[in-house]
Chains A and B, each alone.
Chain A
Amino acid sequence: MTSAAADLIRQSASVLAAAISEGEVSSVEVTKAHLARIAAVDERVHAFLQVTSKAALESAQAIDEKRKSGATLGVLAGVPIAVKDVLTMRGVPTTCGSKILEGWRPPYDATVVSRLRAADLVILGKTNMDEFAMGSSTEHSAYGPTHNPWDLERIPGGSGGGSAAALAAFETPLSIGTDTGGSIRQPAAVTGTVGVKPTYGGVSRYGLVALASSLDQAGPCARSVMDAALLHSVIAGHDPRDSTSINAPVPDVVAAANRGDIRGLRIGLVKELSGEGYQAGVLQRFNESVELLQGLGAEVVEVSCPHFDYALGAYYLILPSEASSNLARFDGMRYGLRVGDNGSNSVEQVMSLSREAGFGAEVKRRIMLGTYALSSGYYDAYYGQAQKVRTLITRDFNAAFEKADVLISPTAPTTAFKIGEKVDDPLAMYLNDIATIPVNLAGNCAMSLPVGLSPADGLPVGLQIMAPPMADDRLYLVGSALESALTDRWGHLLIQEVPNL
């Protein structure tokens, strides 16, 4: 790789967009530099399931021509992006990390994908993920795990490990993730990148293959708060094709990221999301950030959300219940894998054989858990009770937001663990999302951003900012204030410290 190309891949999306718009560099050059980087390192990182080189270069060329013709372009025009393989792209294989959808080419684009295209971004390909977004390590992908660029023997988080690792490996300056219980934020935390779960209903779910419909939300992944804000503004907004899409103006996240002034802002420390179970190195970096926020003029208060202790339990009843219903569509009849269609097996036998062959261990585990929780005689005891806990968690948030404008916590209790360490220990794996799950249950918004390396192992630590529904701009206000204070201290963004691959 030439040094010019090496410079291009380390730039932020906003710098690249400005250079493309000024004609200093073409979108084709930027796209080629990223495709070359993917070719050089992805064999070791495995962030991508599909690289759409030809289509990417064609769209880069079209965008360059559009610019030369004097047409108005979007703020991120010509900038490459990677999309998690759970969003449909017309004609491009979309697997959701599952064998059951191997080779499936969707006949339509997800709304998020349509918006990226309409804003003239260049889609590089589809990123790896835990099968149907079930997992916190990307080890449950049927196509093999993604490796964390900070240490290739460690997990990049999950389920969106591919989207986060691709950023940390400088394979793309932007990516799209989806977050049902932390799948954007926890990978961001363990890879030293930024990830945002917008307010539920803030970004369209049309074309997002459903895991748990009442929890799923797509959002931006980037290497800086400003880049995430720019991408957020491209993908968010009302979509008539999603009946849960909020019909209201998108909060001005870019203006908030530009402002970055938190004097007088009230920041709540959630008592229950700290202490036991959190590594000392994680807590140390978190506490230092709290001091930094105070130094920037914020008022820090402690808040208690007593029902957060029950969030994990409620989540692991609600999520499998919704997932077992949603995944019933994978029956091998209209699309996807079909096994045992030999002329004598019945349709039910073919469905059972296809699903047995096509789904991996974690997916089957959660389908059965959900089938059990929804079955007659157990519905009230499990699913019904879990929905009540959901109400209690929302009430806790409402009470906390009376005392504070935003809440903060560590994003994940630990730094990245070794691949293989927890893969067949579901309860240990589920604990990774203990701090991120309450937000999905209540439907509000949250961001994770890097706040340093743990002194214990030299791996990234993430801090989570949580805001009320449709106050996504507050995430960017606080995130950019903290990021710029940390950048002043370090002289660069944390991601610049990632080892050379």
Chain B
Amino acid sequence: MTAITRDEVAHLAKLARLDLSGTELDHYAEQLDVILQSVARISEVAADEIPPTSHPVPVENVFRADIALPGLDRAEVFAAAPATEDDRFRVPRILDEEEA
């Protein structure tokens, strides 16, 4: 477990879709490093033969009878959307200009 660099934080921010400012990058690089160092000691006890727990109760697939139930109200859903067009969500362009 190595120290986390400012460049790594910038990369993480990109993956997490956060347009962080330069000041934020510096601040988080320092803080994430401190947090990660303090949590790293869990490896002292997490031996290979211990099975992982992802969930406190056993998770199984849940089925229900194939009966139509009322869904959400379209007008209410669109009223809460940032932008709509022709009864659809309007989104910004999804391709880069050279790809378009």
Name A's B-contacting residues (CB within 8 A): 90-91, 104-108, 200-201, 214, 240, 243-244, 246, 307, 310, 312-314, 316-317, 324, 328, 331-338, 341, 343, 345-353, 355-356, 359, 364-365, 367-369, 371-372, 375, 381-382, 384-392, 394, 426-427, 441-444, 469
Shortest C-beta distance, B45 to chain A (Å), equals 6
Query: Is there an interface contact between A244 and B50, defined as CB atoms closer than 8 Å?
Result: no
Contact, CB under 8 Å: B17 / A364: no
The smallest C-beta distance from B19 to any residue of chain A, in angstroms, reads: 4
Tell whether, in the assembled complex, residue B52 and residue A390 are in contact, meaning their CB atoms are under 8 Å apart.
yes
Residue of A at shortest CB range from B74? A107
Which residues of chain A come closer than 8 Å to B50, judged between CB atoms? 388, 391-392
Question: For residue B93, which residues in chain A have a CB less than 8 angstroms away from its CB?
Answer: 346-347
Would you give 26 A-B contacts (Cβ < 8 Å), ordered by A?
A90-B76, A105-B79, A107-B73, A107-B80, A317-B39, A333-B89, A335-B80, A341-B82, A352-B17, A355-B18, A365-B28, A365-B35, A368-B9, A368-B12, A368-B16, A372-B4, A372-B32, A381-B43, A385-B43, A386-B42, A389-B45, A391-B50, A391-B53, A392-B50, A427-B34, A469-B57
Measured between beta carbons, the chain A residues less than 8 angstroms from B44 are 310
Majority SS at the chain B contact face: loop
Q: A336 with B82: in contact, given A346-B93, A388-B47, A388-B50 (CB under 8 Å)?
A: yes
SS class, residues of chain A in contact with chain B: helix
Question: Could you tell me the distance in whole angstroms from the C-beta of B1 to the nearest C-beta in chain A?
Answer: 6
- CB B15 to nearest CB in A, in angstroms, measures 5
Instruction: Give bound CA distance, A243 to B96, whole Å.
Output: 39
Query: Are the CB atoms of A356 and B80 closer together than 8 Å?
Result: no
- Please, which residues of chain A bring their CB within 8 A of the CB of B19? 349, 352-353, 355-356
Q: How many B residues have CB within 8 A of the partner chain?
A: 58
Known: A200-B57, A310-B41. A388 touches B89 (CB 8 A): no
A371 touches B59 (CB 8 A): no
